Amino acid sequence: MEGKRIVVGVSGGIAVFKVAGLVSQLTQRGADVRVIMTRSATQFVTPLTFQTLSRHSVVIDTFAEKDPAVVSHIDLADHADLFILAPATANLLGKLAHGIGDDMLTTTLLATQAPILIAPAMNVHMYENPLVQENMAKLSRMGFRFIEPASGSLACGYEGRGRMEEPERILEVVEEILSPAPVLAGTRVLVTAGPTREPLDPVRYLSNRSSGKMGYAIAEAAAQAGADTVLVSGPTSLPCPTGVRRINVMTAAEMYQTVMQLKEETDILIKAAAVADYQPTQVAQSKLKKSGDTMTITLERTPDIAQEVGSNKGSLFLVGFAAETDDLEEHARLKLKKKNLDLVVGNNVTEPGAGFDGDTNIVTVWDAAGEVLRLPRLSKAEVAQRLVTLIGERFHGRN
């Protein structure tokens, strides 16, 4: 945790007193801890307590801007490595699930791209209320991580589930998030990334807008998760991730040949590349000259790598991507079935923050049974880590 910036969001519940111990232990382990309190939370524990334990001022009011060089909630959101919501009340869960930002804590949460860890705490009947459960399920599908409350005697006098988990257990989960276990240790992962270029002549080619950033982030996350990782890359300007072996290709045919050569020694194939669907039937040996107002180019299909692999994949775990502009779920699930994928990752490239060449993405993942993960706009590095974790769990679960 040394040097990691952890933002602790404290909402108004009796379990606030436990969070003081959590903040103290995080600080002692070297984390840079910043605390945001709701006004309700200050009715249980004073801001001075958290200021003393974190060694930083506590933020409560959205409009109390002490540093004119930054906007406080954006600064906290941008620089956080992790958000912890403890205790997370039913009110806070409802606001977060419906995108409401009406105080310092909720506006900061809407602005952050950091992982969010939620420790609910409330009366047992509130916790079991279908509305609360629906909000938690929605947040879980979107990638938020929960530490389920414990059962026992509650402050309100009831017995049941609703007690916030102890700080020691929360610390264990924080360590898992900040230093993820090698979920792909011992596996051989092949990732394809970037565009392909289909030449028209020595000067011109057909291509697409892919930058390769998503595929490169996945390759890096796979290597960090312990996999022996090979990256088959179309032309990009990106540096090769640490611990990854990169093979450069240019055309769809070259990528097809390389994948086919490597697939037999691969456990997991992640097809993140934007491979051209068509190529010119003829490639001119010299530069094509202007000869009229129009030009007709005849194209033919390129090899469909995912479909070819999926038709005879054996024990290979196959993940595909679907970049769409409309009817995302319909097209993604059709691709999942047609190409015999284990998982398909879909994104609508017309959504702000989900298009080509950006540093963020918004994705949904499906398997044969339906939606399994929905992520809000996150950095591509964070999306890659979430995807690699899911792929590792599915791969090991199947095997």
Token pair of 13, please? 């519940």
Annotated binding site for CTP: 277, 287, 321, 335, 339
Per-residue pLDDT tens listing for the chain (399 residues): 888 999 999 999 899 999 999 999 999 999 999 999 999 999 999 999 999 999 999 999 888 767 666 677 788 888 889 999 999 999 999 999 999 999 999 999 999 988 899 999 998 888 999 999 999 988 887 778 899 887 777 666 767 777 898 999 999 889 878 876 688 999 999 999 999 999 999 999 999 999 999 999 999 999 999 999 999 999 999 999 989 999 999 999 999 999 999 999 999 999 999 999 999 999 999 999 988 889 899 999 999 999 999 999 999 999 999 999 999 999 999 999 999 999 999 999 999 888 788 888 999 999 999 999 999 888 898 899 999 999 999 999 876
| 183 in a structural domain | no
The owner of tokens 């990169």 is: 246
Same domain, 285 and 316: yes
d(CA 395, CA 399): 6
User: Are the beta carbons of 136 and 68 closer than 8 angstroms?
Assistant: no
pTM equals 0.68
Q: Residue 47's domain is classified under what CATH number?
A: 3.40.50.1950
- The residue among 146, 178, 210 that closes a domain is 178
Domain residues for 146? Answer: 5-178
For the chain, the domain total comes to: 2
Same domain, 21 and 100: yes
> Backbone phi, then psi, for 45, in 5-degree steps?
-140, 140
- The residue among 145, 178, 211 that closes a domain is 178
What Rg do the C-alpha atoms of the chain give, in angstroms?
A: 24
Q: Residue 360's domain is classified under what CATH number?
A: 3.40.50.10300
d(CA 189, CA 290): 46
Same domain, 226 and 297: yes
- The residue among 147, 178, 209 that closes a domain is 178
Same domain, 140 and 269: no
- Active-site residue set: 156
In the chain, how long is the greatest CA-to-CA distance? 87
Annotated binding site: 277, 287, 321, 335, 339
Same domain, 174 and 192: no
